[in-house]
Amino acid sequence: MNVFIIPSWYPSKDYPFTGIMIAEQYEAIAKINSHVNIGISIWGQMDKSLLLHSRDHIKNIPKLIKRHTAFTITKSPNLKEYHTPAFTWSRKFLKGNFKKIVSANLENLKSFENDFGPIDLIHAQVGHPAGNIALDISIRTNLPFCITERMGPFPSPYTTNKEGTLTYFHQLPYLASDINIAVSPFQKKMMEKQKIPQISIIPDFINEDFFEPAEQLHHNNKIFTFFSFARLVNGKGIGDLIVSIKSIVSTGIKLKLRLAGTGPQKEELIKLANELDISHVIDWLGDLTRVEALQEYQKCDSFVLPSYYESFGMVYIEALACGKPIIATRCGGPDTIVNDTNGLLVEKSNPQELANAMIKMIKCHNRYDSHAIRQDFMNRFSKRAVIPQIMDLYKQVIAQHKPTS
């Protein structure tokens, strides 16, 4: 089986962690399924040298002059990344260079076929731009394609009209695809509201051989430690978390928050912590490597993230894989991740309810069984549980596809 992957975002030298879960997932799929050849199509997603901004004409000049060449990276015998550069800019001007981007993906497709033979299936990661690219290529090649939608919030305001409905251009890929995949029941509901048909649910997964519990460490009089990991933007509810901590500290309870991530709200959040006089209980960790993130999950007592919206929530299952109980908000994806075995759900935008849940977690932490949390994760979100679902769907799409004469 030859599968051509078109990701809307993917790790780059400029943004090494953006889309890293897509890269990691296909590395796992390729490793487990040696008979499946996978090609990842890259045209310059998240590459600053290929992104042109309308207000940066002077900065655009060296980008245009620079020589950009195609190349291939072999990740394993059956997994390759194909890079054919194409400039990207706003769709408001000449449709964002969409024709050239499709051409770049077609070049990647040809290179993949030269290495492994005819392609059986195209899998687009997110409806735009990947889904639109996949649709164009499918029309030209008569290949089946599917779309995994993990955008949150969905739909993006960049793909909708004033009424919040997908524009025809952005809706068409979902209508034409052989199957649309939602990463959670909540995501499926959001897609159905946009009249997207043929939706199957396959959750995201992580590598359980990497994210795993550490040997239990015993510390006398250890301060209870919460870990949180998010981009520091309004939608992640970190301001609510800081206010909640102030409420907890005011009761005399001792705790520590280790907060990872960066973003435009960082200085504002630091200022809030200073104003509430709780800076001494917060460690600002910045961006973390995968190994550093693993260590934080393993060392903490509980993971907490009070998001306003999550289509799924990878950080929650990373914590569960390490056997740690979690606190999340009813904001979409976490609604079906959290259960009585692994943590607590609270209403979003409610710092006092969040504080109460954190206090409950501190006081009742012993009732959470790390082994049970890990097993629940294994049953639902491990590569061993999810990859077979993906492979079955691939076989179904390929078998049902009817080539046009």
Residue range(s) defining the domain that contains residue 276: 224-381
For the domain that residue 155 is a member of, what is the CATH number?
A: 3.40.50.2000
User: Residue type at 250?
Assistant: S
- As for how many domains the chain has, the answer is 2
Looking at the fold, whether 242 and 324 belong to one and the same domain comes out as yes
Q: Is the pLDDT of residue 290 over 90?
A: yes
Identify the band that residue 32 occupies on the pLDDT scale cut at 50, 70 and 90: very high
Looking at the fold, whether 36 and 114 belong to one and the same domain comes out as yes
3-state DSSP of the chain: CEEEEEECCCCCCCCCCCCHHHHHHHHHHHHHCCCCEEEEEECCCCCHHHECCCCCHHHHHHHHHCCCCCEEEEEECCEEEEECCCCECCCCCHHHHHHHHHHHHHHHHHHHHHHHCCCCEEEEECHHHHHHHHHHHHHHHCCCEEEEECCCCCCCHHHECCCCCECHHHHHHHHHCCEEEECCHHHHHHHHHCCCCCEEECCCCECCCCCCCCCCCCCCCCCEEEEEECCCCHHHCHHHHHHHHHHHHCCCCCEEEEEECCCCCHHHHHHHHHHCCCHHHEEEEECCCHHHHHHHHHHCCEEEECCCCECCCHHHHHHHHCCCCEEEECCEHHHHCCCCCCEEEECCCCHHHHHHHHHHHHHCHHHCCHHHHHHHHHHHHEHHHHHHHHHHHHHHHHHHCCCCC
Rounded percentage of the chain residues whose pLDDT exceeds 70: 95
Mean pLDDT of 48-69: 73
Identify the band that residue 402 occupies on the pLDDT scale cut at 50, 70 and 90: confident
Tell me if 25 sits within 8 A of 128, measured CB to CB. Answer: no
The answer to whether residue 211 sits within a structural domain is no
The answer to whether residue 253 sits within a structural domain is yes
pLDDT at 135 (0 to 100): 98
The average confidence (pLDDT) of the chain is 94
Looking at the fold, whether 251 and 342 belong to one and the same domain comes out as yes
Q: Is the pLDDT of residue 53 over 80?
A: no
Looking at the fold, whether 282 and 184 belong to one and the same domain comes out as no
Mean pLDDT of 216-229: 78
Q: Is the pLDDT of residue 312 over 90?
A: yes
pLDDT at 275 (0 to 100): 98
Can you tell me which residue has the tokens 């290949």?
A: 143
Distance, in Å, from the CA atom of 30 to the CA atom of 32, rounded to the nearest integer, reads 6
pLDDT at 57 (0 to 100): 63
Distance, in Å, from the CA atom of 159 to the CA atom of 174, rounded to the nearest integer, reads 13
The answer to whether residue 218 sits within a structural domain is no
pLDDT at 142 (0 to 100): 95
pTM of the predicted structure, to 2 decimals = 0.92
Looking at the fold, whether 367 and 392 belong to one and the same domain comes out as no
Across the beta sheet with 224-229, what order do the strands follow? 282-286, 255-260, 224-229, 302-305, 326-329, 343-346
The answer to whether residue 201 sits within a structural domain is yes
Digit-coded pLDDT (tens) for 140-152: 999 999 999 999 8
Digit-coded pLDDT (tens) for 104-139: 999 999 999 999 999 999 999 999 999 999 999 999
Distance, in Å, from the CA atom of 226 to the CA atom of 259, rounded to the nearest integer, reads 8
Looking at the fold, whether 45 and 151 belong to one and the same domain comes out as yes
Structure tokens at 119: 């392609």
Looking at the fold, whether 235 and 117 belong to one and the same domain comes out as no
Looking at the fold, whether 171 and 317 belong to one and the same domain comes out as no
The answer to whether residue 216 sits within a structural domain is no
pLDDT at 218 (0 to 100): 52
The answer to whether residue 210 sits within a structural domain is no
Q: Is the pLDDT of residue 22 over 90?
A: yes
pLDDT at 118 (0 to 100): 97
Least confident of 47-51, 141-145, 197-201, 353-357: 47-51
Looking at the fold, whether 337 and 302 belong to one and the same domain comes out as yes
Looking at the fold, whether 172 and 271 belong to one and the same domain comes out as no
- C-alpha distances out from residue 155 to 173, 187, 395, Å: 14, 10, 28
Mean pLDDT of 51-70: 73
- C-alpha distances out from residue 331 to 88, 214, 235, 264, Å: 32, 30, 10, 22
Rounded percentage of the chain residues whose pLDDT exceeds 90: 86
The answer to whether residue 245 sits within a structural domain is yes
Q: Is the pLDDT of residue 55 over 80?
A: no
Least confident of 50-54, 177-181, 275-279, 357-361: 50-54
Looking at the fold, whether 236 and 306 belong to one and the same domain comes out as yes
Length of the chain (residues): 405
Looking at the fold, whether 371 and 388 belong to one and the same domain comes out as no
Q: Is the pLDDT of residue 219 over 70?
A: no
pLDDT at 401 (0 to 100): 83
Tell me if 236 sits within 8 A of 334, measured CB to CB. Answer: no
The answer to whether residue 231 sits within a structural domain is yes
